[in-house]
Amino acid sequence: MTPLALGIVLVAAFTHATWNYAAKRVGGGLPFVWLTGLLSFAFYIPAVTLYCFWTRPELPGPVALVFIGSGLIKTAYALLLQRGYRHGDFSLIYPLARGTGPLLSTFAAIALFGERPTLLALAGGAVIVASVFYLTGGTSLLQADRSHLRQGMLYGFTCGCCIAAYTVWDQRAVSHLQLPPILYDCGTQLVMTCVLTPFAWPRRAEAAQTWREHRGKVLTVALLGPVGYVLILTAMTFTPVSYIAPAREISILIGTFFGAHLLKEADAQRRLLAAAGMVLGVIALALG
């Protein structure tokens, strides 16, 4: 990996953890997701206009279907993530989602594309599973008073499924169809906004209240979300994904640190150790 690619990926990892931290502090629902998506698309309009003016890109025929597929997956992800943040600790939901995503992506690559993982990759998957087991408290998760953790674990895993799905989908779009990252993510944001608007418009008063009370956090999510993902997509265009995947997962440690030390959540040491184990597992998956 070149120094440029590494720098891009590390910046993207920090921005990803930061906007998720802001989203957790808001604890919003559908109106919040719609509001941030609408603002993200508004931010894209001048950037995409300038990009198209200077480069005049030619898009392949089925591009609308690619946008729609990615937009639907990410809409589900955004809603599930916010629901998870409303019901569980940030230092639990975030590492679960980020750590299980690459593992499930590997399973998808085996099932859909016939890939065969090496022993190192299988060991990495086992480390991730063990880290998740440790993160969630092991067998104590079965106790009656841990129902809130079971619910948080469920949201973390479902978000991980969405991450796995859009990772595989977006990888094909950027590398095989060679869609420009800025246009691709802009199209995705447009689809998300269109899907959510009929449901969010009747609740626009909630969106307005969220804007008044959490303007800075809303802007953080709306701006850093697209910036971080476009950086990752850009790095994918000139760097193998096997190099990008482990580097970007440093966000697991950053996010867990935010939850443990900034939000003062419980089990800080356990969750930081589990997050470190997940990062090592993802690295093994990528190298394998």
For residues 176 and 100, what is the distance between their CA atoms, to the nearest angstrom? 25
Kindly give the residue spans of alpha helices, DSSP state H, lying in 88-214: 90-113, 119-135, 147-175, 181-200, 204-213
pTM, 2 dp = 0.83
- Average of per-residue pLDDT values in the chain: 82
The answer to whether the CB of 187 falls within 8 A of the CB of 8 is no
Separation of alpha carbons 274 and 129, rounded Å = 10
DSSP label of 214: S
Tokens matching residue 171: 């990888």
pLDDT tens digits, 164-182: 888 778 877 887 778 888 8
Query: How much of the chain, in percent, has pLDDT values that exceed 70?
Result: 84
What is the predicted pLDDT for the residue at 207? Answer: 93
Q: How many CB atoms neighbour CB 109 within 10 A?
A: 17
Q: Which two tokens stand for residue 287?
A: 């190298």
Answer for the pair 16, 250: CB distance below 8 angstroms, yes or no. Answer: no
Query: For residue 214, what are the CA distances in angstroms to 22, 83, 137, 167, 196?
Result: 9, 17, 33, 30, 20
- Compute the distance between CA of residue 205 and CA of residue 209 in angstroms, rounded to an integer: 6
**60-85 burial, b for 16+ CB within 10 Å, e for fewer?**
eeeeeebbbbbbbbbbbbbbbbbbbb
Phi/psi-derived region of residue 92, left when phi > 0, alpha when psi is between -120 and 50, beta in every other case: alpha
Question: What pLDDT, on a 0 to 100 scale, did the predictor assign at position 136?
Answer: 64
Tokens 């040491």 appear where?
269
Give the integer Cα–Cα distance in Å for 10 and 15. 9
Residue range 214-239, pLDDT digits in tens: 999 999 999 999 998 888 888 877 77
Domain segments of the chain as ranges: 3-287
* 119's tokens: 């022993």
Tokens linked to 4:
């440029």
CB of 34 closer than 8 Å to CB of 206: no
Three-state secondary structure along 252-273?
HHHHHHHHHHHCCCCCHHHHHH
Q: Is the pLDDT of residue 185 over 80?
A: yes
Say which residue the tokens 């022993």 belong to. 119
User: How many CB atoms sit inside 10 A of residue 122's CB?
Assistant: 14
For 143, phi then psi, to 5°, come to: -70, 150
Task: Decide: helix, strand or coil at residue 237.
Answer: coil
Q: What are 38-82's pLDDT values in tens digits? A: 999 999 999 899 988 888 887 776 788 899 999 999 999 999 999
| Banded pLDDT at 33 (limits 50, 70, 90) | very high
Whether residue 122 is predicted with pLDDT greater than 90 in this model: the reply is no
